[in-house]
């Protein structure tokens, strides 16, 4: 019988052991306490070789209720701990992630299908956000304002919100959770995390890592909670005890989350779809374009919300740019993502493969011309049925399929005449996450970054659309949801603002000069 990757090639069995993951796992936890559950069992299969990694017994409504109760109790204690002390806990979590970077990175790669470099990079993002949050724990600043009334002082301060619900997607199994949780924790909130059911093992590994830090510092169990299973998503969305829900996923489900949470006057951070374009100017360095566009389009097999979907090329360099792109695509190596010699790994599952095939057919039906053929790979090394060829299609920006986000390595290419036309094309999609221009022309750069330029939350010059750093707030506009996570002042979303006025005089003057004599 042929050995699988779990058994031999990359020591996945040892990785699971290092991360405290068993064959059968529970789907609900508070800190290090795993709840006994009667939920249905889901299996995690690797898209790398199609083999089962393990099983998880999902959380039930009763499990969720128990977790929520523990979280509420923990919040009463955690919110009173000084913010720098909370930052110290996050610092220790960062140190644990450094210790487990290699095994956790391998698990991310194996369970999700992204390259090992990207898996390790995702864990590095977690480490980086821990470092950011530690510094932030001493910088939760408010403002002091001058009062119009004599002998009065005004200032604002920020308080924790409470229990934060985090619902994350499969393509970044651990990083997106950390962007939210580390900031929420230093802000004084506690977290309930519902990960994608496609990558439950990564979530269990993270819970195990965090629980060790909480346990040795005598931190209440409910500071870090985990609930696995789709039922828990709607429980979080409808729960009035959760003032903030951070959701990462499709625009379609994001609409449901937004409406549900808004109806109970809760807040949301929405990180939804992207339809990201690179504008290639006649003044562009094509060597830089090559790296930015090809990695942007095929990295993570096109399954990033920041993946490059559209290449808008000036007519004068159109053919030359396509020659460069097609030559690069011909050299791409597709296969096991844990093998560093491969450029492209698998899609997450066969459903994603079908979406990829459907998108190609729709593009052709609308008049698209396939320049680099796609297709599903089969045979030795491709047994999972999830490996596909990156595809390049000449298209028009107004094609229905081009207006949609397909989570797959499909790149649509099109021409433009003027920079104003290119920017209009870039903006003429429902989504507004990431954007890029490659140019050496200062006027084009500045126009692209001006109020008349890109309408996206992220706008880059001479770098691709993917690869955001944690120092800047991450998120987008329009159907991308308007949310912001990670750096800058994104921490304010996890807190409530309070304006305070102190009267240190001996009279009580009213604002706006109002007189009220009694």
Of 305, 386, 391, 456, catalytic: 305
391 is catalytic: no
Radius of gyration for the chain, computed over Cα atoms and rounded to the nearest angstrom: 25
Residues 6+ apart with CB under 8 A from 279: 312, 416, 419, 422, 423, 426, 435, 436, 437, 438, 439, 448
DSSP 367: T
206 is catalytic: no
Task: Report the C-alpha gap between 400 and 383 in whole angstroms.
Answer: 33
N-term to C-term CA, the chain: 94
E strand or H helix that includes residue 335 = none
Task: Report the C-alpha gap between 208 and 174 in whole angstroms.
Answer: 13
Q: Would you say 67 and 225 are in contact if contact means Cβ atoms under 8 Å apart? A: yes
Helices (H) and strands (E) in the chain, counts: 14, 24
Of 118, 122, 271, 479, catalytic: 271
Return the biggest CA–CA distance within the chain. Answer: 94
Q: Give the dihedral of Cα atoms 234, 240, 246, 251; nearest 10 deg.
A: 50
Q: Taking the mean position of all CA atoms in its chain, how far away is CA 445?
A: 27
Task: Report the C-alpha gap between 108 and 50 in whole angstroms.
Answer: 15
Task: Report the C-alpha gap between 74 and 31 in whole angstroms.
Answer: 10
What are the residue ranges of helices labelled H in 149-199? 175-186
E strand or H helix that includes residue 496 = strand 495-503
Task: Report the C-alpha gap between 67 and 303 in whole angstroms.
Answer: 32
Q: Taking the mean position of all CA atoms in its chain, how far away is CA 257?
A: 16
Task: Report the C-alpha gap between 419 and 425 in whole angstroms.
Answer: 10
Residue 250, token pair as written in the block = 């499709």
**C-alpha closest to that of 158 among 132, 126, 183, 179:** 183
Cite the active site residues: 271, 305
């Amino acid at each position: 019988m042929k050995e699988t990757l779990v058994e031999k090639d990359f020591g996945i069995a040892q990785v699971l052991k290092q991360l405290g993951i068993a064959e059968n796992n529970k789907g609900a936890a508070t800190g290090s306490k795993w709840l006994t559950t009667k939920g249905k069992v889901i299996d995690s299969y690797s898209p790398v070789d199609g083999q089962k990694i393990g099983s998880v017994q999902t959380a039930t409504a009763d499990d969720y209720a128990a977790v929520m109760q523990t979280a509420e109790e923990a919040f009463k204690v955690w919110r009173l701990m000084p913010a720098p002390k909370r930052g110290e806990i996050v610092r220790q979590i960062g140190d644990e992630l450094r210790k487990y970077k290699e095994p956790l990175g391998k698990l991310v790669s194996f369970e999700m299908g992204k390259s090992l470099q990207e898996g390790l990079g995702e864990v590095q993002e977690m480490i980086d956000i821990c470092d950011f949050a530690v510094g932030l724990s001493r910088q939760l600043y408010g403002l002091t304002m001058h009062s119009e009334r004599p002998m009065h002082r005004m200032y604002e301060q920020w308080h924790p919100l409470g229990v934060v619900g985090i619902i994350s997607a499969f393509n970044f199994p651990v990083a997106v959770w950390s962007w939210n949780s580390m900031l929420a924790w230093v802000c004084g909130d506690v977290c309930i995390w519902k990960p994608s059911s496609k990558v439950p093992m990564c979530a269990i590994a993270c819970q195990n890592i965090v629980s060790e830090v909480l346990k040795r510092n005598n931190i209440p169990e409910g500071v870090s909670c985990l609930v696995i299973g789709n039922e828990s998503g709607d429980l979080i969305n409808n729960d009035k005890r959760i003032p903030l829900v951070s959701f990462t996923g499709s625009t379609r489900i994001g609409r449901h989350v937004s409406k549900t949470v808004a109806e109970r006057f809760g807040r949301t951070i929405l990180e939804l779809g992207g339809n990201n374009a690179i504008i290639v100017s006649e003044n562009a360095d094509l060597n830089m374009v090559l790296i930015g566009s090809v990695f942007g389009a095929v990295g993570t097999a096109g399954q990033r919300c920041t993946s490059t979907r559209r290449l808008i090329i000036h007519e004068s360099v159109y053919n030359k740019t396509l020659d460069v792109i097609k030559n690069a695509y011909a050299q791409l190596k597709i296969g096991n993502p844990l093998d560093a010699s491969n450029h492209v790994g698998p899609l997450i599952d066969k459903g994603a493969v079908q979406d990829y095939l459907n998108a190609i057919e729709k593009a052709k039906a609308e008049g698209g011309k396939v320049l680099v053929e796609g297709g599903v790979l089969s045979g030795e090394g491709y047994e999972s049925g999830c490996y596909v060829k990156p595809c390049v299609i000449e298209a028009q920006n107004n094609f229905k399929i081009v207006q949609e986000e397909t989570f797959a390595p499909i790149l649509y290419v099109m021409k433009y005449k003027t920079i104003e036309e290119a920017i209009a094309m870039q903006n003429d999609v429902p989504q507004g996450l990431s954007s890029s221009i490659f140019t050496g022309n200062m006027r084009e750069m500045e126009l692209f970054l001006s109020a008349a330029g890109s309408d996206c939350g992220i706008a880059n010059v001479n770098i691709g659309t993917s690869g955001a750093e944690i120092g800047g707030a991450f998120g987008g506009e329009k159907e991308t949801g308007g949310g912001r996570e990670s750096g800058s002042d994104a921490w304010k979303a996890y807190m409530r603002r309070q304006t305070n006025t102190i009267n240190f005089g001996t009279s009580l003057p009213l604002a706006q000069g109002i007189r009220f004599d009694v």
